[in-house]
Structure 1
Amino acid sequence: MRTFAIGDIHGGLKALIQVLNQLEITEKDTLIFMGDYVDGWSESAQVIDFLINLSEKINCIFIKGNHDVWCENWLKDQTDVNPTWYLHGGKETIDSYEGFTIDKKNEHLNFFENLKMYHLDSENRLFLHAGFTSMHGVERETYPHKFCTDRTLWEMALAMDKEIEKSSSNYPRRLQHYNEIYIGHTPTTNYGEAAPMHAINIWNVDTGAAFKGKITALNINTKAYFQSDELPKLYPNEKGRN
């Protein structure tokens, strides 16, 4: 029984299939997708179709990302296009839905509406797209949208003095609640890293698939990771998000 955390996809179906082929998934495995399935490359709608079908065969847990919120809102009312979203991958997502029936779009809307804001497993490992701000943990978060947008949790872990003991009063309370925290949202390529990054008890598995990076799947027990090719190589005639 293996569990993999899979980082941001951003419409890169070819890369997602590459990664899954490396994993040699069985029905005993669990896949935890960290959000941002759409916006960037040309196959966003196709990614959602693929994930819906995959979840019928494999145990999948789907976390909601900020781009998924945008796409969900558009699917609810396709006459209302958020201009910020449109400029950050929304155009490519809208284009990918050309030819999709109303019933199929409603199926996708149902997928987005049922995404989890976070997942906490039996070993007190937390999975969410971005972060949280409450010192009392995710269950007492005052601003739930932070689960999709917060970067301060990751920034705090990167800046933290690694010599501070967890039992110390100086240890951030946000990090004390969970054995491990898994996130996406902030590309490791922003820090010059192509691989998943580890800071304190946080693992970041967004390796820049929206831009010039790769999609990553991390085995949360062994910490072995598997990656696609860089997305521009798989979509040579596209720009992705720049």
Structure 2
Amino acid sequence: MLILVTGCAPRGPGGGGAPGNGAGDAARPLTVAAASDLHFAFSEIGKLFTEETGVEVTFTFGASGSLARQIENGAPVDLFAAADTAYVDHLIEAGAILPDSRRVYALGHLVLAAGAAAPVDDLEDLLDPAIRHLAVANPDHAPYGRAAREALESAGLWEALQPKLVLAENVRQALQYVETGNADAGLVPRSLADVPDITFVAVDPSLYAPLEQTLGIVAGSPREAEARRFAELVTGPEGRAVLERYGFGLPAE
């Protein structure tokens, strides 16, 4: 699995193993496991959080399903921000997320991205022989990958496009395939697509189930208070402004 880490600070002596309550745990940074579509937005929000609180934040970005499995297996994470509701709800049922901390913090949007050499205007353009490879995140553990499959199925294109599909571990890797020319087009989050040499168009949201991006605090976290402050920043005016700037929709307050 491709895991991208940003905003790293040195981990304290208690940084390994399952969350605990020792002095080492209290010294380590706030650890946030976040869906890959949050890479740009949460990196910015993390800097705001550190400026406001003095608390360092370490991010692990990846596919929501992969991160959820790590948390369920005891990874030392304080807060989980998924790209849908299902993985957080599963962890609540498993006793791994505090139920009262569950919040829908953003609404995700799927776009069709392509390099400048192979512009596309709609999903039907993916049938063009000039589009040889289409990158999507693996639907088995990435909510945007699942949304991509739903959109293509709704448009009647999923089966026809099977020979062109390139499955990525997460949405950031799917976009990287397009950026490097290893794929001609990709179905990726709006929040990642506004980068040089990439064009994109929105995918009709009626073609896929809503992506209600949800967060929760990991049960037993030694940094629960800080995790709650981070969640408040994400869902408050400053965090919502950042999320909106990166193309997320906002749930009702």
Q: Flag whether TM exceeds 0.5 (same fold).
A: no
TM-score relative to the length of structure 1: 0.25
Give 1 or 2 for the bigger CA radius of gyration.
2
Which one has more relative contact order, counting CA pairs under 8 Å at least 6 apart?
2
As a proportion of its length, which structure holds more strand? 2
TM-score relative to the length of structure 2: 0.24
